[in-house]
Amino acid sequence: MYERDVLYAFSFPAYFDHGVRHYLLAQYNLSRHVDLWFRWARTDLTNQPTVGSGLDETAVPHKSEVKLQARWRF
């Protein structure tokens, strides 16, 4: 499923197992020339004690990501 993302980016997260995924996307216009985007996403798995594998493995059943983008127009 496609998720909205920051400007000029796209997101097609890989869904597997059982759980919930949610995200928050915010855009703020600081001035006529400066725009900000903020995106926070989290995946909660209900049937696994860990997420990831190898060096990417975490000992909790959730994973979060944060993106911040700024645009300055001339």
Q: Which two tokens stand for residue 74?
A: 């001339």
Which pTM value belongs to this model? 0.79
The candidate with the shortest Cα–Cα distance to 68, out of 25, 30, 22, is: 25
Q: CA-based Rg of the chain, rounded to a whole angstrom? A: 15
The one-letter amino acid code at 58 reads T
Q: For 3-32, how does the pLDDT look when each residue is reduced to its tens digit (9 = 90+)?
A: 888 998 888 877 777 889 899 999 999 999
Domain boundaries defined on the chain: 19-72
Report the DSSP pairing between strands 62-72 and 19-29: unpaired
Q: How confident is the model at residue 65 (pLDDT cuts 50, 70, 90)?
A: very high
The candidate with the shortest Cα–Cα distance to 14, out of 47, 63, 49, is: 63
